Amino acid sequence: MLRPIFVITIDTPAINVRPMYNSVTQCMPGENMTDNQTSTVASNETRTTDPYRPHYHFATPSGWLNDPNGMIYLDGEYHLFYQHHPDSILWGPMHWGHTVSRDLVHWQDLPIALAPDSLGMIFSGSAVIDHQNTAGFGAGAMVAVFTHDNNNHQSQSLAYSSDKGRTWTKYANNPVLVPPDNTPDFRDPKVFWYNDGRSTGHWVMLLAVNRSIWIYRSPDLKQWQKTDEITGRGASTGVWECPELLQLPLDGGPQTRCWVLVVSVQQGAPAGGSGQQYFVGDFDGQHFIPAEPADVVRWADYGADFYAAQAWNEAPRGRHIWLAWMNNWDYARQTPATTWRGAMSIPRELSLVSDTHGIQMLQQPIAELLATRIPLGNWSTLTVAPGNNPLANLHGDALDLVARFIVDDTTAASRFGLRVRVGASEQTTVGYNVAKGMLYIDRSHSGQQVPGFAAPQVLALPPRNGIVELHILVDRSSVEVFADGGRAVLTNQIFPDLASQGVELFAEGGSVQILSLDAYRLAVR
C-alpha cells in the first residue's frame, strides 16, 4: 500500500553560515590527506565492483552505520563518530565508529572509538573540548558524552581522550546521569559550552526523552541539574531523538542570531517515516523559549532520507556545518547491501532567513565539495520542448546540476524538470508542476525498489521572481535537491544500475525557458 501524498506549503524566500554559543543579539520574532591516510573515498576498482559505494558521501567501510555522533573540530580535523555495528550489515550492538577529515570531503578511517561494556551498548551522543579542565581529565581533553543502553535502560556516560580522539578511556564512575523513576527513551545527549559573557559559563545538555526534550546544566560534565523541558510541540507521531541546538546568523548576521532547536522524529515526516523538524526561538543558557505556536511544524528536509542531523562543535571561522544519516527507519534494514550499509548526507552550511512567514533554515552544499567541480557545460536562454533533450550527451554518476527555469505567462509546459541516473528502464525525476506550483520527486523507477520508495514526494514551491531554481547533487546511491537557494531541501537514496548515468531535461504539455543551466562533475578522489 502506497503512502499518501504529503503536501507541505512553505514560502521560500540567502545563505551564510558554529556554535561556540556566546550570546549575541537574540531573536524572538512573532586540506589534502597525507600519504599514509586511508581514505573512505572509494578506489576506481571498488566503484566498479560496488555500484552503490558513493563517490563523495561518507559511507562506512563495512558493517552497519546510522546516526552521526560526537562531531567536533580540533586542530585542523573534523571528527565524525557514528553509530556502528562492525560485525553485521544490520543494526546490532552499537559502537562508535570514527573517521576524520581536514576538508569534509576526504575521510580517514580510524579504529572504533567506543565499544559496548558491562553498562551496555554505546548509543548516540556528542563530543566537546574541555578547554578549562572542568571535568578533571586534563585541559583540552576531548570528552565524549554518550548514552549507555542496557536492555532499554538508558543512562548518560563519559569517556575522554588526550590524543585527539585516537584512544579513549571511559570514566570510572559512569554513568553520570540516570533516568528519574526509570524513565524510558532517555538518550542522545547533545552537549556544548554556554557563555553569555555575564558569567563564567557552564555546560548544557539536551536529552531526548520520549516525545520531549529535557535541558540540563553542569559545571563539570559530571553533575547535572535539569532546567527545562520542551514538550507538546510540532510533530510527535513518533519518539523524539537526537536533539541539536544551534545559534545561527539571521539574514546574513553576524550581529543578529536566532536559536534553533532541532529534533529527529521516528514517524510522521513529510515523505513518510522518520525525519527532522526544528523550532525557532531563544535560549538563555537554561531555557529554550519557542517563538512560534506549538502547532507550527518546520522540516529541515522534505525528502525521505535525512535523519539525526548533528552539527560540528567548535567549527572554525564561525561556520555552522551539519550532516545527517541518509536513511529512513521505515526501510533502513532493507536497502540493498553486501558488506556495508549506511552513508551520510553531504555536509551543509546553515543559516537563517526571515520573511512574512517567519524564519526559515537555509542549507547549502559546503564550499569544499563545490571546489572539486569540473565544468561539463553551461547553457543560457535555452528552450526545452516535449521530446527534446538538450543534455543527451551528458552522463555521470557524480554530478552537480544547477538549473534556473523561467515560470511566467510564457511558460506553456504543464510539467518540467530533470531526470538523473537515466538508463534503459530507470530514472529519478525531479520535476515541477506549473499549475499547482509543486516541486516533486519520483523514484518509482530509480532502480532497485525498497518498500516505500514509490511514495510520491510533493512540496509547494512558488517561483521566486518568476524563477524556479534547482540545485541537484547526484551520487552513486543518492540525489540531494537544494531548491530556491537552499530554502527547501530534499534528500533521497536511489539504487540504479551502474550503467544508468544519463541526464534528461524534460517538458510536458508545452515548452519551458531556462535562464541558465550549469553542469559539473564532482571529481572527488
pTM: 0.91
Residue 81 and residue 98 in contact, taking contact as beta carbons nearer than 8 Å: yes
Residue 92 and residue 332 in contact, taking contact as beta carbons nearer than 8 Å: no
Q: How confident is the model at residue 254 (pLDDT cuts 50, 70, 90)?
A: confident
Lowest mean pLDDT among 30-39, 192-201, 338-347, 464-473: 30-39
pLDDT surpassing 70 at residue 191: yes
pLDDT surpassing 80 at residue 120: yes
Check residue 3 and give its pLDDT.
31
3-state SS string for 137-159 = CCCCEEEEEEEEEECCEEEEEEE
Check residue 74 and give its pLDDT.
98
Q: Give me the sheet containing 502-508, strands edge to edge.
A: 7-9, 457-460, 438-445, 427-433, 415-422, 502-508
pLDDT surpassing 90 at residue 441: yes
3-state secondary structure of 448: coil
pLDDT surpassing 90 at residue 489: yes
Decide the pairing of beta strands 438-445 and 427-433. antiparallel
pLDDT digit string, tens, across residues 219-245 = 999 999 999 999 999 998 899 999 999
Is it true that 15-30+39-367 and 372-522 share their CATH fold? no
User: What DSSP letter does each residue of 413-443 carry, written as one string?
Assistant: -SEEEEEEEE-SS-EEEEEEETTTTEEEEEE
Check residue 256 and give its pLDDT.
77
Q: Report the distance separating Cα 75 and Cα 451, nearest Å.
A: 43
> What are the grid coordinates assigned to 507, written together?
517538458
- Using a 10 angstrom Cβ sphere, with 0-12 exposed, 13-18 middle and 19 or more buried, the burial of residue 197 is exposed
pLDDT digit string, tens, across residues 330-358 = 999 999 999 999 999 999 999 999 987 78
Check residue 27 and give its pLDDT.
59
Domain ranges of the chain: 15-30+39-367, 372-522
220 has catalytic annotation: no
Q: Report the distance separating Cα 67 and Cα 342, nearest Å.
A: 9
Residue tagged active-site, from 35, 67, 130, 330: 67
Lowest mean pLDDT among 85-94, 126-135, 190-199: 190-199
pLDDT digit string, tens, across residues 284-331 = 999 999 999 999 999 999 999 999 999 999 999 999 999 999 999 999
DSSP 394: -
pLDDT digit string, tens, across residues 15-36 = 222 233 333 334 544 333 333 3
> What are the grid coordinates assigned to 504, written together?
534528461
The torsion angles phi and psi of 316, rounded to 5 degrees, stand at -75, 160
The Cα diameter of the chain in Å comes to 71
Check residue 521 and give its pLDDT.
98
Residue 341 and residue 87 in contact, taking contact as beta carbons nearer than 8 Å: no
Residue 501 and residue 423 in contact, taking contact as beta carbons nearer than 8 Å: yes
Q: How confident is the model at residue 198 (pLDDT cuts 50, 70, 90)?
A: confident
pLDDT surpassing 80 at residue 445: yes
Q: What percent of the chain has pLDDT over 70?
A: 91
Q: Which residue has the higher pLDDT, 358 or 169?
A: 169
**Which whole number is the average pLDDT over 108-124?**
98
Q: How confident is the model at residue 89 (pLDDT cuts 50, 70, 90)?
A: very high
Look at the block and give the residue holding cell 585541559. 139
**Fold of the domain spanning 372-522:** Jelly Rolls (2.60.120)
How far is residue 160 from each of residues 173, 188, 485, measured CA to CA in Å? 13, 17, 40
Q: Report the distance separating Cα 105 and Cα 321, nearest Å.
A: 13
Exposure string for 77-105, b = 16+ CB within 10 A, e = fewer: ebbbbbbbbbeebebeebbbbbbbbbbbb
3-state secondary structure of 327: coil
Backbone angle region of 25, left / alpha / beta, with phi > 0 → left and psi within -120 to 50 → alpha: beta
Residue 244 and residue 324 in contact, taking contact as beta carbons nearer than 8 Å: no
Check residue 18 and give its pLDDT.
28
Check residue 92 and give its pLDDT.
97
Q: Report the distance separating Cα 15 and Cα 358, nearest Å.
A: 16
Q: How confident is the model at residue 455 (pLDDT cuts 50, 70, 90)?
A: confident
Half-sphere exposure of 364 (CA within 13 A, CB side): 19
The domain defined by 15-30+39-367 carries CATH number 2.115.10.20? yes
